[in-house]
């Protein structure tokens, strides 16, 4: 799969039954439909924050619209978090969500604060899943070029 920002092949990072498409150049993350729910539920066991996130409002932005790496349609901009504001890209067909580098960490921090859960476990998950070396025995990565 090609990164919607850099247009290079992303790698798939598999961790705790979740597959994340990750760009090693811009550090963006693509979540296929259902993967974000799985990650947040697995980390927090909390659905209230998740349902609030998934009903995020579409917004107009000066940021260039990106194409969905699955269907090729221009993605909508949506606000996922308010403080600090995280502007994500959402496929209009529901194929998935794109987070620029650092935005997933902001989302997890806000989810942890909203749920009252310890932030460290969630941040450790992200550090392990997204920043580990390709040689790590705990994480299986593969190229997703197609």
**pTM for this model (two decimals):** 0.75
Q: What's the Rg (C-alpha) of the chain?
A: 14
* 72-95 confidence digits (pLDDT tens): 999 998 887 777 788 889 898 889
* 124-143 confidence digits (pLDDT tens): 666 666 654 333 333 333 44
Sequence-distant (≥ 6) Cβ neighbours of residue 59 within 8 angstroms: 77, 78, 79, 87
Domain ranges, ordered by start, for the chain: 11-132
Total residues belonging to the chain? 146
């Amino acid at each position: 799969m090609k990164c919607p920002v850099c247009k290079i092949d992303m790698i798939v990072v598999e961790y705790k039954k979740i597959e994340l498409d990750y760009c090693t150049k811009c550090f963006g993350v693509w979540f296929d439909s259902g993967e974000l729910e799985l990650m947040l539920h697995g980390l927090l066991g909390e659905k209230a924050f998740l349902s609030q996130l998934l009903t995020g409002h579409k917004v107009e932005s000066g940021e260039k619209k990106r194409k969905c790496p699955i269907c090729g349609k221009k993605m909508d901009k949506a606000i996922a978090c308010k403080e600090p504001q995280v502007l994500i890209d959402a496929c209009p067909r529901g194929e998935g969500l794109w987070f620029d580098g650092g935005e997933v960490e902001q989302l997890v921090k806000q989810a942890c604060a909203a749920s009252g859960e310890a932030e460290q476990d969630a941040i450790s998950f992200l550090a392990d899943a997204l920043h580990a070396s390709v040689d790590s025995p705990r994480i299986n990565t593969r190229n997703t070029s197609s």
